[in-house]
């Protein structure tokens, strides 16, 4: 029986060792798989971050290029507007000069007309009258030309005003486009930051969960090892108890045998004495 119990204990001990070995193998496999997964996720995270950084750099370059282009166009428009304003000032100056010349011509016509009223119609005076009429006609033509030039100047000035208005509208539109580009850039940066934080949080949560699982498995393995040690100590104590019980039983059997032999010897002695 003691040998059978010992064999059973050895079998149980081997089973426990096999279970512990299996748990260790599973733990190593899980650890290797976990490290591989963490490394792979880290590489994917690094690749994603690199891609996002590249996209952000490209977006910043394109935004900077477009903003520089808009600034250049705005400066060109401002220069054109300044040139048109100078042209308008020059046209206004010429227009005022034409008006002054027109008033002077009108004054000269009135003066000539006044002078012709005092002339008689002699031959010499007729020549003067004819010369005066020619001069009046010339002055009238000049006045008509000045009126036409003034009208053309007014039309040209109106065109310039319209062109300046269009350039101002274009300048405002460029400013709005620049603000939209800046807003889009800020939105892209904010979205990239949120995506990075989300992926980092997801990876950290996965890592924490896996780490807790690994700690639980290690704790379970330690508990199994402690249970195995306690069981081995208990089995060892039981073995010693069985040995003591077996030794005590043998001593009892020996004592019983000796008592029986003594009783038989005493009976023989009694029988011998009776026979004598």
- In this prediction, residue 39 carries a pLDDT of 79
What's the rounded Cα separation, in Å, for the pair 3 and 56? 77
Average pLDDT value over all residues in the chain:
69
Interatomic CA distance for residues 133 and 129, integer angstroms: 6
What's the pLDDT tens digit per position in 114-131?
A: 655 554 445 555 665 566
What is the per-residue pLDDT across 213-254, written as a single tens digit (0 to 9) for each?
766 766 666 666 666 676 666 666 566 656 656 666 666 676
Please give the pLDDT value at position 169.
Answer: 76
In the prediction, which pLDDT does 234 show? 60
CB atoms within 10 A of CB 43: 10
Read off φ and ψ for residue 175, nearest 5 degrees: -65, -40
Q: Considering the entire predicted model, what is its pTM? A: 0.32
What does the domain layout of the chain look like in residue ranges? Answer: 2-271
> Domain spanning 2-271 has what CATH number?
1.10.287
| Distance of alpha carbon 177 from alpha carbon 166, whole angstroms | 16
pLDDT at 121: 46
Q: Count CB neighbours of 182 within 10 A.
A: 12
According to the model, what pLDDT value does residue 120 have? 46
* C-beta atoms surrounding 113 within 10 Å: 11
Three-state SS annotation for 139-154: HHHHHHHHHHHHHHHH
Q: Tens digit of pLDDT per residue, the chain (276 long)?
A: 556 766 676 777 777 777 777 777 877 787 777 778 777 877 877 787 777 778 778 877 877 777 777 677 767 766 776 776 677 677 667 666 656 665 666 666 566 556 555 544 455 556 655 666 676 676 667 666 766 776 676 676 677 677 767 767 776 776 677 677 777 777 877 776 777 677 767 766 766 776 677 667 666 666 666 666 766 666 665 666 566 566 666 666 766 777 777 777 666 666 555 554
């Amino acid at each position: 029986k003691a040998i059978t119990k010992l064999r059973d204990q050895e079998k149980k001990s081997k089973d426990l060792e096999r279970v512990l070995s299996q748990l260790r193998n599973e733990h190593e496999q899980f650890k290797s798989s976990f490290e591989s997964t963490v490394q792979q996720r880290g590489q994917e995270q690094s690749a994603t971050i690199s891609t996002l950084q590249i996209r952000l750099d490209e977006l910043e370059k394109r935004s900077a290029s477009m903003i520089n282009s808009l600034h250049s166009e705005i400066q060109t428009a401002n220069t054109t507007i300044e040139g048109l304003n100078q042209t308008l000032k020059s046209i206004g100056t010429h227009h005022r000069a034409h008006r002054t010349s027109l008033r002077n011509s009108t004054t000269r016509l009135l003066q000539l007309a006044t002078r012709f009223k005092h002339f008689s119609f002699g031959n010499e005076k007729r020549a003067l009258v004819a010369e005066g009429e020619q001069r009046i006609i010339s002055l009238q033509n000049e006045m008509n030309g000045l009126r036409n030039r003034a009208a053309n100047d007014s039309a040209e000035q109106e065109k310039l005003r319209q062109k300046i208005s269009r350039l101002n509208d274009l300048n405002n539109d460029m400013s709005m486009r620049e603000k939209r580009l800046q807003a889009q850039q800020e939105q892209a940066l904010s979205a990239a930051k949120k995506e990075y934080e989300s992926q980092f949080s997801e990876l950290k949560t996965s890592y924490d969960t896996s780490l807790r699982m690994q700690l639980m498995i290690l704790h379970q393995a330690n508990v199994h090892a402690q249970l195995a040690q306690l069981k081995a100590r208990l089995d060892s104590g039981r073995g010693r108890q069985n040995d003591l019980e077996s030794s005590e039983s043998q001593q009892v059997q020996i004592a019983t045998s000796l008592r029986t032999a003594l009783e038989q010897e005493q009976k023989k002695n009694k029988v011998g004495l009776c026979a004598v």
